Structure 1
Amino acid sequence: MSENDKLDLSSPDLVNENFEKLAELFPNCVTESAEGKAIDFDLLKQELSHAVVEGNKERYRLEWPGKKEAIVTANLPTNKTLRPIRGDSVDFDNTENIYIEGDNLEVLKLLQESYLGKVKMIYIDPPYNTGKDFVYKDNFAKDSQEELVDSGQKDEYNQRLVSNPETSGRYHSDWLSMMYPRLKLARNLLTQDGLIFISIDDNEQHNLRRLCDDVFGENNKLGIITNINNPKGRSDDKFIATAHEYIIVYGKASDYTTVYGFEPDTKITKRYNKEDINGKKFREIDLRKTGDADKRSDRPDMFYYFYALEENPNDLIVSKEKANQPNRIEIIPLKDDNSDGRWRWGFQTAKENLDSLYAKFMPTRKIWGVFEKDYLDGRPPVKATSSWTHKDVNSERGSEQMIELGFDKETFSRPKPLGTLRRVMEIGIMPKEKSIVLDFFSGSAGICQAMFELVASGKRDLSFIAVQLPENTPKDSIAREEGFDNITDIARERIKRSAKKIKEETGADIDYGFRVYRLDDSNMEDVYYKPQEYAQDKLDLFADNVKSGRTSDDLLAQVMLDWGLPLSLKIEQVKVEGKKVFKVAENSLFACFDDGIDEAFAKAIAEEQPLRIVFKDSGFKDDTAKTNVKQLLKQLSPETEMKVI
């Protein structure tokens, strides 16, 4: 028996029926409130009146239930930290690439000091809010266990992914509340000339544009790219088969932003089919203006005379007025009907660029013309258009590229094709410009593979920061059969496999490594942050502020974040007076978390003249040693700033 065959055994819900009738008559009056879908009665009154109805003051801005809470969420501090996982990393001490496992909202908060204004480009492929995917539920006001129960997640990572079906009363609002704080924090990380690219489909494209206007400013919208990723169209669409998605592009400050372009492909390079005496390839372009406004009367100042030697067409003289040159051929811009036309260049430009011009007899017209040598070398990049029909952005390529790395087609659903990821980096970052690329919805880490390819080709000088929640793979999935318990397992393996493949194919000597960090609670005991909440007789339990089980690597990462140092800085480990010392970026930071720090150690360290040095508060030999170490550093290395944790 189907559900439709069962008796309802309840009276009709008249309120709901009335709501649906009003929604059918006045769909523009349906809105979302804190309680779910609702009717905007002020707007409904206006629909039923011929005069302006007084109500709430109108304003142009994006509002939704939960916006104020989203603003608060972005501004709330966090006591969490990032713990390095050397065992999952590749070339940890030397690589500049960062892979972070954890909730991207809290990760973005932790990166605020170290990467403020340092990220050149951000690309994200967030949940599209199709009704079948998930959004993050950010509610830090609740007890953590209550949050786990509410979200239906009870794993060690305290995941906050919840389903957001179309039937939800706050379908759009929940998605906006999830995106707003992340975009707000991400904007802070961009350089002044930085850009953000966001993939999205029709479900939230309109809201995302307004949200980005709110966060980045409407005047910083650089464009919207229609990405034709499925030329055949989706067969399961009810009315029109969707063949595209969008890439929304904003800059942090459009006055400073430069959007680069693509290197010319074979369709363009094959036009450069001529060579000069030095073997340099060029194409010839008629200097005569064609098309609209091509008459002499349209721009009289762009009508002038060339004089060429028939035996040497490269020898040209240019003159504003008709000149007496009996040994030369006079050339003027004649239209097809032999009336006077005009040139594309002004006289001064032609005079300054005579070396790139030459004369040529045109047999079909039986007249001489002047042509520009447009050289392939030094040619400006091809400006990206607002419609991408390139074959390498086809979504099918994403799965094929995973298969090429030895994964099953079903290991990861709908990975972005590398062509799309390469192209956003090509137009977002200038060649040879050392830059950081951030993706905080990094999925299978396609951005990392695409970046390796670009760097190996010599076209860009990049490092990445990729962030991904370690969302569990389904229990009976192909991914689980392959040994991948969560998405980050897949991603880390993809980075390793793609690095190996690219190195074998290109032989390029680049940075193929990556440092893995995992979001976790602070390394410090709670009393470190809130000592006033503990009675004096309890404080002896916390003689060491550091939590049990935390390593020197853990402490170093937290110190670097707190001191605003990038996690990508080179780290060396050395022994000084028998104690392990971390040297970050040569002498930028020294850190020693061993016990027994004394005056002899201070004297040895002072010889290195570090800019900063940090110890455990409980790491000194005794209170006298702590005082003496501080004084010795002041005397022997006055530029050194000392801190304790």
Structure 2
Amino acid sequence: MSDKMKFETPNLTAENVAKIAELFPGVVTEGNVNIDLLRAMLGEDVFTDEAYEFTWVGKRAAIAEAGRPIRKTLRPVIKDETIPTGTDSTGKPYCSSGSRDWDTTENLYIEGDNLDVLKLLQESYLGKVKMVYIDPPYNTGNDFVYRDNFTASREDYEEETGVYEEDGDRLFKNTETNGRFHSDWCSMIYPRLVLARNLLTTDGVIFISIDDGEVAQLRKISDEVFGESNFLACFCWKRKKEISSDSKNVAVQGEYILCYSKSSFADLKLEPISEEYVAKSYNAPTPDFPDGKWRPVPLTVSKGLSGGGYTYTITTPSGAKHKRLWAYPEKSYEQLLSNGRVYFGKDKSGVPQRVIYAHESKGQPITNYWDAVSSNKEGKKTILELFGNASFDTAKPIELVLKMMRVATDPGDIILDFFSGSATTAHAVMQLNAEDSGKRKFVMVQLPEVCGDGTEAAKAGYATICEIGKERIRRAGDKIKGEAGLTAKGLDIGFRVLKLDDTNMNEVYYAAGDYTQDMILMMQSNIKEDRSDMDLLYSCLLDWGLPLSMPHTHEKIEGYSVHTYNDGDLIACFEDRISEKAVREIASRQPLRAVFRDSSFTSSPEKINVFEIFKLLAPNTTVRVI
């Protein structure tokens, strides 16, 4: 294996081909799959030309996009600083507000196109995210502004109607005049969902808000990405309490929230039992069942369920006999009977049922109609309370996200939102942690869309949506901590800011061919001049698949600057030169990983010597160079 860091996201397509090669070695030659041979080996278990399939113009490109590797990175923004990657309409560089509680927080706020960010997170957060919630653009023709990577055939049209991102890359604003109105939206969401699924834990779930416009398409895409059998629910949320004629004399009050799991191991929790549910579903105490409100549930095994059951005959108090497949062994049934927990119907001759009391209930099922949750008006009200103005008037209410998190997460889980907007999800994470002393962590991702001239946000001094989101987290965190008082001890209201940018490395780093150490020393630096040690460190974390929120320390060893990440998961020295004594000290600490600049070694023998030192003092350490 090469001793050089890759600094390139995984090629997911190549990885999938490798998986096929493991199962069917004969169908892969020089990295290419012989589809006809694979189909023949699968026999009848393949789709025919007449199989049902949801497709659109550009689908093949969207599928390929999910697996295409990129050479980008995430740069830490520790303190408030000017970011030299764009300017506002007056030519003034954007000022990005930085992180909060960098040294202690485990939360992340990432600025950049979420497609690229999701690719960068594939190694570090693979299988680690318990819940994803996204509120993507609804394709109304006004709010869908994302990179157009799907085709170059409309360049002239987009030149006139599109907008541009901070770094000059073209953004695409989808309008109904575009002949591929639905296709472009499908191509936008598909690769993002594929990449998001990879990040979910085995029992992880995703919630996706959507309106009437694309719910049909989203359901089909999600069935394909997550599997039709992993569909959990389509919730209908009453987002508007008012009745107004929106179109064709129909008052649209609701939106949809699709919920899917990554696998069959996932399920949503019961909600706390409510007085309303008890009143509707439980009977008042009776002489036979005096211990509280109660209800009967079947004792028989449901049809179609596997796992067996117990066949025997039960005689009711009236003498009626019932021979069935029961869920309990006969002795367990007799115990229920002696405890007064069996109901035989009003005439004492019905099929026996087990009695449960409301106060013993673990909760109630979630309904798929959410009319009691806060409306969009409450979401706007929260923004007004925090900011004093309507800087973001499309925010979802915090109670909506809290409802999802309560049924889908546990106190130590990671929650991801890659259409973060005003950061309602981050607000909800902090709120729920304050309520149950949890340690949930959030990862927010948001494209730094420019706040238009004349908007309330621009008037308030916010250059991009990211600045609104970060400021909301700060203000909401302070409010939550202040209201919680002593119970908020240890509450994490901070976040590390990371900004998507091009790779830290110059093109020479990726050039084909091998160079001798003497040739490397004669070349220009393979690292861009404006990149810091922390920039390089975070590139290494991404390349090695390490989490981005662990503790980090910095020290001098023999006069050289050395970074230690998470107590030795990684030790890095990016100095132009380093002494053998310093290398020996680093090796003696036996980190799991170590990385140096290739140019810090004055010759090939010196570089070989460093590797030999690690073999001697830290044989289990993986050593790489940049």
Using structure 1 for the length normalisation, give the TM-score. Answer: 0.74
Alpha-carbon offset, residue 102 of structure 1: 0.2
The whole-number CA distance in structure 1 between the counterparts of 2:606 and 2:157 is: 46
Q: Structure 1 residue 238 and structure 2 residue 248: aligned?
A: yes
Quote the residue 2:414 is aligned against.
436
| Distance of aligned partners of 1:407 and 1:285 in 2 relative to their CA distance in 1, 3 Å threshold | same
- Whether the 8 Å CA contact 2:421–2:465 is kept in 1: the answer is yes
- Whether the 8 Å CA contact 2:294–2:358 is kept in 1: the answer is no
- Whether the 8 Å CA contact 1:595–1:621 is kept in 2: the answer is no
Quote the residue 2:454 is aligned against.
476
The whole-number CA distance in structure 2 between the counterparts of 1:345 and 1:184 is: 40
Quote the residue 1:100 is aligned against.
110
Alpha-carbon offset, residue 352 of structure 1: 3.6
Quote the residue 2:78 is aligned against.
86
Q: Secondary structure at the match of 2:493?
A: coil
The whole-number CA distance in structure 1 between the counterparts of 2:550 and 2:297 is: 56
Which one-letter code corresponds to 1:260 in the other structure? K
Quote the residue 1:607 is aligned against.
588
Quote the residue 1:425 is aligned against.
405
1:393-415 Cα shifts (integer Å, max 9, x gaps): x111101111221341x201210
Alignment of 1:610-625 (within 5 A): 610-620=591-601, 623-625=604-606
**Aligned match for 2:357, one of 369, 374, 378:** 374
The whole-number CA distance in structure 1 between the counterparts of 2:542 and 2:497 is: 15
**Aligned match for 1:127, one of 115, 131, 137:** 137
Which one-letter code corresponds to 2:60 in the other structure? K
1:195-227 Cα shifts (integer Å, max 9, x gaps): 111000100000111111121221211111111
The whole-number CA distance in structure 1 between the counterparts of 2:312 and 2:367 is: 34
- Whether the 8 Å CA contact 1:615–1:643 is kept in 2: the answer is yes
Which one-letter code corresponds to 1:283 in the other structure? G
| Distance of aligned partners of 1:458 and 1:526 in 2 relative to their CA distance in 1, 3 Å threshold | same
- Whether the 8 Å CA contact 2:62–2:150 is kept in 1: the answer is no
Larger mean CA deviation between 600-609 and 465-474 belongs to: 600-609
Which one-letter code corresponds to 1:62 in the other structure? F
| Distance of aligned partners of 1:113 and 1:234 in 2 relative to their CA distance in 1, 3 Å threshold | farther
**Aligned match for 2:57, one of 36, 45, 65:** 65
| Distance of aligned partners of 1:407 and 1:573 in 2 relative to their CA distance in 1, 3 Å threshold | farther
Quote the residue 1:388 is aligned against.
370
Q: Structure 1 residue 453 and structure 2 residue 431: aligned?
A: yes
Alignment of 1:253-402 (within 5 A): 253=263, 255-265=264-274, 267=276, 283-285=292-294, 301=313, 303-304=315-316, 332=317, 348-349=331-332, 351-353=334-336, 357=340, 374=357, 376=359, 379-392=361-374, 394-402=375-383
Q: Structure 1 residue 571 and structure 2 residue 549: aligned?
A: no
Alpha-carbon offset, residue 575 of structure 1: 2.7
Quote the residue 2:28 is aligned against.
none
1:84-124 Cα shifts (integer Å, max 9, x gaps): 10011112132211110000011111111111121111111
Q: Secondary structure at the match of 1:573?
A: strand
Alpha-carbon offset, residue 261 of structure 1: 2.6
Which one-letter code corresponds to 1:220 in the other structure? N
The whole-number CA distance in structure 2 between the counterparts of 1:454 and 1:181 is: 30
Alpha-carbon offset, residue 137 of structure 1: 3.5
Q: Secondary structure at the match of 2:163?
A: coil
1:602-633 Cα shifts (integer Å, max 9, x gaps): 12112211010011112346555433222111
Alpha-carbon offset, residue 236 of structure 1: 2.9
| Distance of aligned partners of 1:303 and 1:485 in 2 relative to their CA distance in 1, 3 Å threshold | farther
The whole-number CA distance in structure 1 between the counterparts of 2:160 and 2:575 is: 42
Quote the residue 1:598 is aligned against.
579
The whole-number CA distance in structure 2 between the counterparts of 1:147 and 1:182 is: 25
Which one-letter code corresponds to 1:643 in the other structure? R
The whole-number CA distance in structure 2 between the counterparts of 1:421 and 1:207 is: 23
Larger mean CA deviation between 439-448 and 159-168 belongs to: 159-168
Task: Give the CA RMSD over aligned residues.
Answer: 3.8
- Whether the 8 Å CA contact 1:436–1:462 is kept in 2: the answer is yes
Alpha-carbon offset, residue 375 of structure 1: 6.2
The whole-number CA distance in structure 2 between the counterparts of 1:543 and 1:130 is: 49
The whole-number CA distance in structure 2 between the counterparts of 1:140 and 1:619 is: 42
**Aligned match for 2:231, one of 209, 221, 231:** 221
Q: Secondary structure at the match of 1:634?
A: helix
The whole-number CA distance in structure 2 between the counterparts of 1:117 and 1:229 is: 32
Q: Secondary structure at the match of 1:465?
A: strand
Which one-letter code corresponds to 1:423 in the other structure? K
Q: Secondary structure at the match of 2:110?
A: strand
1:468-509 Cα shifts (integer Å, max 9, x gaps): 000000111110111101100000000111111111111312
| Distance of aligned partners of 1:537 and 1:358 in 2 relative to their CA distance in 1, 3 Å threshold | closer
Alignment of 1:475-494 (within 5 A): 475-494=453-472
Q: Secondary structure at the match of 2:598?
A: coil
1:219-266 Cα shifts (integer Å, max 9, x gaps): 21111111111133443333210110100111111x211211322345
**Aligned match for 1:545, one of 510, 513, 526:** 526
The whole-number CA distance in structure 1 between the counterparts of 2:142 and 2:120 is: 30
| Distance of aligned partners of 1:66 and 1:141 in 2 relative to their CA distance in 1, 3 Å threshold | closer
Identity fraction in percent: 41
| Distance of aligned partners of 1:350 and 1:606 in 2 relative to their CA distance in 1, 3 Å threshold | same
- Whether the 8 Å CA contact 1:138–1:160 is kept in 2: the answer is yes
Which one-letter code corresponds to 1:518 in the other structure? K
Alpha-carbon offset, residue 161 of structure 1: 3.5
1:109-149 Cα shifts (integer Å, max 9, x gaps): 11111111211111110011122322423328879x99995
- Whether the 8 Å CA contact 2:124–2:547 is kept in 1: the answer is yes
Q: Secondary structure at the match of 1:382?
A: coil
Alpha-carbon offset, residue 435 of structure 1: 1.6
The whole-number CA distance in structure 2 between the counterparts of 1:475 and 1:483 is: 11
Larger mean CA deviation between 225-234 and 93-102 belongs to: 225-234
- Whether the 8 Å CA contact 1:123–1:197 is kept in 2: the answer is yes
- Whether the 8 Å CA contact 2:106–2:550 is kept in 1: the answer is yes
Quote the residue 2:542 is aligned against.
561
Quote the residue 2:68 is aligned against.
76
| Distance of aligned partners of 1:231 and 1:350 in 2 relative to their CA distance in 1, 3 Å threshold | farther
Q: Secondary structure at the match of 1:473?
A: coil
The whole-number CA distance in structure 2 between the counterparts of 1:359 and 1:74 is: 56
Quote the residue 1:190 is aligned against.
200
1:7-64 Cα shifts (integer Å, max 9, x gaps): xxxxxxxxxxxxxxxxxxxxxxxxxxxxxxxxxxxxxxxxxxxxxxxxx964411111
| Distance of aligned partners of 1:499 and 1:542 in 2 relative to their CA distance in 1, 3 Å threshold | farther
Alpha-carbon offset, residue 530 of structure 1: 2.3
Q: Secondary structure at the match of 1:261?
A: coil
The whole-number CA distance in structure 1 between the counterparts of 2:159 and 2:107 is: 35
Alpha-carbon offset, residue 175 of structure 1: 0.6
- Whether the 8 Å CA contact 2:392–2:457 is kept in 1: the answer is yes
1:396-445 Cα shifts (integer Å, max 9, x gaps): 1101111221341x20121011111111111222x34x221111111111
Which one-letter code corresponds to 1:515 in the other structure? R
The whole-number CA distance in structure 1 between the counterparts of 2:229 and 2:337 is: 41
The whole-number CA distance in structure 2 between the counterparts of 1:135 and 1:154 is: 10
Alpha-carbon offset, residue 355 of structure 1: 9.1
Higher-Rg member (1/2): 1
| Distance of aligned partners of 1:64 and 1:390 in 2 relative to their CA distance in 1, 3 Å threshold | same
Larger mean CA deviation between 515-524 and 453-462 belongs to: 453-462
Alpha-carbon offset, residue 351 of structure 1: 4.0
Using structure 2 for the length normalisation, give the TM-score. Answer: 0.76
- Whether the 8 Å CA contact 1:81–1:521 is kept in 2: the answer is yes
Q: Secondary structure at the match of 1:464?
A: strand
